[in-house]
A and B are shown apart, each in its own frame.
Chain A
């Protein structure tokens, strides 16, 4: 549930932080 998480837990779920995409060819 989003409300039970702190703001940074939520923000860090952003797909854009998933730098693994950089390695996908």
Chain B
């Protein structure tokens, strides 16, 4: 009250927005409201403007360590649905929806494909996979000789690149992940089932009557 910033940064989403998001995702209205508590905490960690910046996203993933990281950047870019350089609440809910245990396998496969298609070419290409492998080795302080990395890439592309054109298309990716379901483990966050228990304070800010 009395603060001209309070509307955008702090106000709970309008009832109809919450209801729409719940209708179009796997979340209930209460869960969308609980997600708003999480969103509010992340989006106010650096600047309390009701939007998640890349810096705030990285802080949330890596806690206190400031880290510029290929994978975190990629996830941020995919969450930034409207390509505004920030994540708004709607982007946040719709993106997390793919990670819901009840989200469809097709959505999880499609999102994971886009995650690895670093340059948005519509294909997962060998240089992209090599770039990600090198980033992973750097991040985890693991060292592998270049010929070992090439061997891993050879093996992966023999298995995944069925028409052997040097890149993995969406159909090849679908076949590959169905044969290797563990690859989709990162696409499900069991935590999302219990979001209202984790952020019970949503009850005090709720716009809906029947919780």
Contact = CB atoms under 8 A, between A and B. Distances in A.
Interface of A: 2-3, 5-25
A8 B183 contact: yes
Given A12-B183, A21-B63, 4 more contacts: A7-B156, A9-B183, A12-B186, A22-B60
B63 A8 contact: no
Interface in B183-205: 183, 185-186, 189, 191, 195, 198
Name the interface size band of chain B. 35 or more
B139 A25 contact: no
B152 interface: yes
Contacts of A19: 61, 75, 99, 186, 189
A6 B133 CA distance: 10
Given A2-B144, A8-B183, A23 B71 contact: no
